[in-house]
């Protein structure tokens, strides 16, 4: 802030109906070392208050109702740290009722001190000094908040760069692992090593996602996409997915549900993240031979859905229960860190539950006696599923595509090229942004996978130049290690149709390749109707990608068919139990 701005911040604004009175007051205050700005009228006062000042010394009869109303509006827009002080001279020889009426009139100004005439100069100066000291503390709070915001921005920038740098090698590893998994001979000979590689890649990806998530949730950068969701179906699907991991660890895993579907108004991805974090924690801290139970029920009296994840694991000391949901907090651990993790999962859970209007608690009888985490969420009315969604699409086949990969990282580029070629696609590559534009215009691929952090020109500029040259003819996908919401927004603004975060899930890309042309039909010939068809096909592919692509937290969104299939399983189980 400039010196002029700093001086203005501690200036006292003076307004009286008689100019001579203002000049006398200003002279006395300046002699006491207080900076003064004399306002000619009410409009000048409101302008100065809006611009910023230390305090205002105003005569009651200089404030018209219109000026008071304007000041109330200005002060109502103050930032949270600010509480602008007004010192108001009341009328001489005012009655108690008149003083009460004056306080009611000026009450909307907030921080008001009434100074009753006649007033000793020492009283006026000491009152103003006290107001300016309070104002200085407000400025100190502002500076602290600004410094915190600056540190948060630096942290987010660092984490974004860290995520990018970690996701690039993870992308190459994921590509290589998926190549191995699709080679029947390799899987037959090296099934266990391949499974270990795949599992650890998922674990590293989850750690990166957790690290980035804790930054986003603590700064309120997560927006929920709420729809009525069957919480029981979500839990059942994740429990089924975790059965193999629990079996390998020698654990018993159970799912319990009472009654029919339990609907909550929530974001499916975030609800899956809540359940998955709790389930992962329970499996992680339960020794071989233990038991993990996930249950869902309703509490009609409270209008709540109740999710419980209970284990017979290592338990939590009573002192640790108070801080278990804080970031980077874990219960007592041994030096071998066999369970891994950074202590972020439960912090993310708490914030996501609160965003859904719910609450989460943890209880434990003590060390070695297990833990129960309980999540309570408001119940919601069910949403009737679309009949079309109940018919699974089992006849989809991935057609052969002409694909361009623009990637400067040799490992990522070469492994992805080899993987896609092994699936029968025609693949072209470019190693920088300029070559990427040239290849795109020469080859005219159906789909281009473009890294963002490219040499010469970045991926955003690649997309802009390609769009300028060919319009919407080509489907552009940002395939990058930058996965924060603002990165996705920048990609969309540059002309990308979709955004995939490394490491890429091949299933997501294959589904997109299938739906780029509806039902796998060949692309129509060029023409007006063909352009309309391409637009519709692009919208369909984008819808699929939005539904399935890894989100900011790296949790894949499941498509509507899969979600409904899981829901049907749960309903069938409810029916049998009845």
3-state SS track over 496-524: CCEEEECCCCHHHHHHHHHHCCHHHCCCC
- Predicted confidence at residue 45, as pLDDT, reads 93
Predicted confidence band at 447 (pLDDT cuts at 50, 70, 90)? very high
Percent of the chain with pLDDT over 70: 75
- pLDDT given at position 215: 59
Structure tokens at 224: 């929920």
Q: Are residues 262 and 361 in the same domain?
A: yes
Q: Is there a single domain that holds both residue 414 and residue 458?
A: yes
> Would 388 be classed as within a structural domain?
no
68 HSE (CA, 13 A, CB side) = 19
Q: Does 565 score more than 60 pLDDT?
A: no
- Does residue 401 share a domain with residue 345? no
Flag whether pLDDT at 218 surpasses 80: no
Tell me which of 35 and 511 has the higher pLDDT.
35
236, 345: one domain: yes
Looking at the structure, do residues 473 and 513 belong to the same domain, yes or no? yes
Whether 109 is in a domain gets the answer yes
Q: What is the CATH number of the domain that holds 254?
A: 3.30.565.10
Q: What is the mean pLDDT of residues 188-208?
A: 74
Distance of alpha carbon 520 from the chain centroid = 35
Residue 103 — very low, low, confident or very high, per pLDDT cuts 50/70/90?
low
In angstroms, the CA 350 to CA 353 distance is 5
pLDDT of residue 102: 66
Highest mean pLDDT among 16-25, 157-166, 202-211, 368-377: 368-377
Does 45 reside within a domain?
A: yes
pLDDT of 96 reads 67
Final residue in a domain of this structure, among 65, 94, 119:
119
Residue 71: name the closest of 114, 113, 107, 109 by CA: 109
- Residue 502's pLDDT is 82
Strands 85-90 and 55-59, how do they pair? parallel
Q: What percent of the chain has pLDDT over 90?
A: 29
Does one domain contain both 353 and 441? no
Task: Check whether residue 463 and residue 341 sit in a common domain.
Answer: no
Q: Give the pLDDT mean for 546-570.
A: 38
With cut-offs at 50, 70 and 90, classify the pLDDT of residue 213: low
Amino acid 307: pLDDT? 93
Note whether 530 and 409 are same-domain residues: yes
In a domain, 32, yes or no: yes
Residue 98 in this model has a pLDDT that exceeds 50? yes
* Chain centre distance of CA 280: 21
Q: For residue 341, is pLDDT > 50?
A: no
Check whether 336 has a pLDDT greater than 60: no
Q: Which of 2-6, 278-282, 552-556, 565-569 has the lowest mean pLDDT?
A: 552-556
Domain presence at residue 174: no
Other C-beta atoms lying within 10 Å of the C-beta of residue 411:
15
- Which of 85, 119, 153 is the last residue in one of the domains? 119
**Mean pLDDT, rounded, for 237-266:** 87
Asked if residue 176 belongs to a domain, the reply is: no
The pLDDT of residue 183: 76
Model confidence at 566, pLDDT cuts 50, 70, 90, reads very low
Identify the band that residue 85 occupies on the pLDDT scale cut at 50, 70 and 90: very high
What's the CA gap between 344 and 164, in Å, rounded?
A: 19
pLDDT surpasses 60 at 331? no
Q: Is the pLDDT of residue 339 over 70?
A: no
Per-residue pLDDT of 18-52, as tens digits, reads 767 788 888 889 999 999 999 989 999 999 999 99
Name the residue with higher pLDDT: 315 or 307. 307
Q: Residues 354, 421: one domain?
A: no
| Domain membership of residue 295 as a residue range | 227-381
What are the Cα distances from residue 491, in Å, to 59, 97, 484, 485, 557? Answer: 57, 64, 11, 10, 19
Alpha carbons 521 and 100: distance in angstroms, whole number: 81
What pLDDT is recorded for position 534?
39
My answer on whether 362 and 235 are in the same domain is: yes
Q: Name the one residue in this structure whose structure tokens are 């502002």.
A: 142
Do residues 177 and 201 make contact, with C-beta atoms less than 8 angstroms apart?
A: yes
d(CA 241, CA 566) in angstroms, rounded, equals 11
Looking at residues 284-291, what average pLDDT do you find?
Answer: 90
529 and 441, same structural domain? yes
Q: What is the pLDDT of residue 3?
A: 41
Instruction: Indicate the average pLDDT of the chain.
Output: 77
How far is C-alpha 180 from the geometric centre of its chain's CA atoms?
34
- Residue 425 belongs to a domain with what CATH number? 3.40.50.2300
pTM value is 0.49
More confident residue, 22 or 330: 22
In a domain, 331, yes or no: yes
Residue 141 lies in a domain: no
Query: What's the number of domains the chain is made of?
Result: 3
Please check whether residues 245 and 374 belong to one and the same domain. yes
Alpha helices in 298-361 (DSSP H): 318-321, 345-355
pLDDT of residue 185: 78
- Domain boundary (349, 381, 413) is at 381
| pLDDT score of 193 | 77
């Amino acid at each position: 802030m400039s010196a002029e701005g700093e001086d203005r911040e501690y200036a006292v604004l003076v307004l009286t109906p008689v100019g001579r009175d203002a000049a006398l007051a200003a002279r006395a205050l300046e002699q006491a070392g207080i900076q003064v700005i004399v306002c000619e009228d009410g409009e000048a006062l409101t302008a100065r208050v809006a611009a910023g000042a230390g305090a205002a010394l105003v005569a009651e009869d200089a404030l018209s109702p219109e000026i008071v109303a304007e000041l109330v509006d200005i002060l109502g827009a103050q930032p949270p740290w600010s509480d602008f002080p007004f010192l108001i001279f009341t009328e001489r020889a005012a009655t108690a009722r008149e003083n009460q009426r004056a306080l009611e009139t000026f009450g909307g100004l907030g921080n008001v001190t009434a100074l009753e005439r006649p007033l000793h100069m020492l009283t006026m100066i000491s009152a103003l000094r006290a107001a300016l000291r309070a104002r200085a503390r407000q400025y100190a709070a502002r500076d602290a908040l600004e410094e915190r915001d600056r540190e948060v921005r630096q942290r987010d920038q660092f984490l974004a760069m860290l995520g990018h740098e970690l996701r690039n090698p993870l992308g190459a590893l994921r590509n290589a692992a998926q190549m191995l998994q699709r080679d029947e001979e390799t899987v037959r000979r090296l099934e266990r090593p391949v499974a270990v590689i795949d599992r650890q890649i998922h674990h590293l990806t989850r750690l990166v996602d957790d690290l980035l998530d804790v930054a986003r949730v603590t700064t309120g950068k997560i927006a929920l996409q709420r729809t009525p969701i069957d919480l029981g179906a979500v839990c059942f699907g994740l429990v089924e997915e975790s059965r193999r991991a629990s079996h390998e660890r020698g654990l018993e895993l159970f799912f319990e549900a009472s009654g029919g579907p339990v609907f909550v108004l929530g974001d499916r991805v975030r609800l899956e993240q809540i359940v998955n974090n709790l389930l992962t924690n329970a499996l992680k801290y339960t020794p071989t031979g233990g038991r993990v139970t996930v249950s869902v029920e309703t509490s009609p009296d409270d209008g709540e859905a109740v999710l419980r994840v209970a284990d017979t694991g290592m338990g939590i000391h009573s002192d640790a229960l108070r801080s278990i949901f804080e970031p980077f907090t874990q219960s007592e651990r041994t030096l071998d860190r066999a369970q891994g993790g950074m202590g972020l999962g439960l912090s993310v859970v708490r914030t996501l539950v609160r965003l859904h209007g719910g609450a989460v608690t943890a209880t434990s009888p003590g060390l070695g006696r297990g833990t129960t985490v309980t999540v309570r969420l408001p119940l919601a009315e069910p949403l009737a599923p679309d009949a079309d969604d109940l018919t699974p699409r089992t006849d989809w086949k991935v057609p052969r595509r002409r694909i361009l990969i623009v990637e400067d990282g040799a490992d990522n580029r070469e492994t992805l090229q080899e993987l896609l070629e092994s699936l029968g696609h025609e693949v072209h590559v470019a190693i920088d942004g300029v070559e990427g534009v040239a290849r795109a215009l020469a080859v005219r691929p159906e789909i281009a996978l473009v890294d963002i952090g490219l040499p010469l020109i970045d991926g955003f500029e690649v997309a802009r130049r390609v769009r300028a040259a060919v319009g919407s003819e080509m489907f552009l996908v940002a395939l990058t290690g930058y996965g924060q919401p603002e990165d996705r927004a920048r990609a969309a603004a540059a002309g990308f149709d979709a955004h995939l975060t490394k490491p890429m899930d091949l299933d997501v890309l294959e589904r997109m390749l299938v739906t780029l042309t509806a039902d796998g039909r060949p692309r129509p010939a060029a023409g007006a109707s063909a352009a309309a068809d391409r637009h519709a096909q692009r919208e369909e592919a984008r819808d699929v990608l939005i539904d399935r692509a890894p989100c900011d937290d790296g949790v894949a969104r499941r498509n509507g068919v899969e979600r409904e299939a899981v829901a049907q399983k749960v309903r069938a189980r409810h029916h049998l139990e009845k």
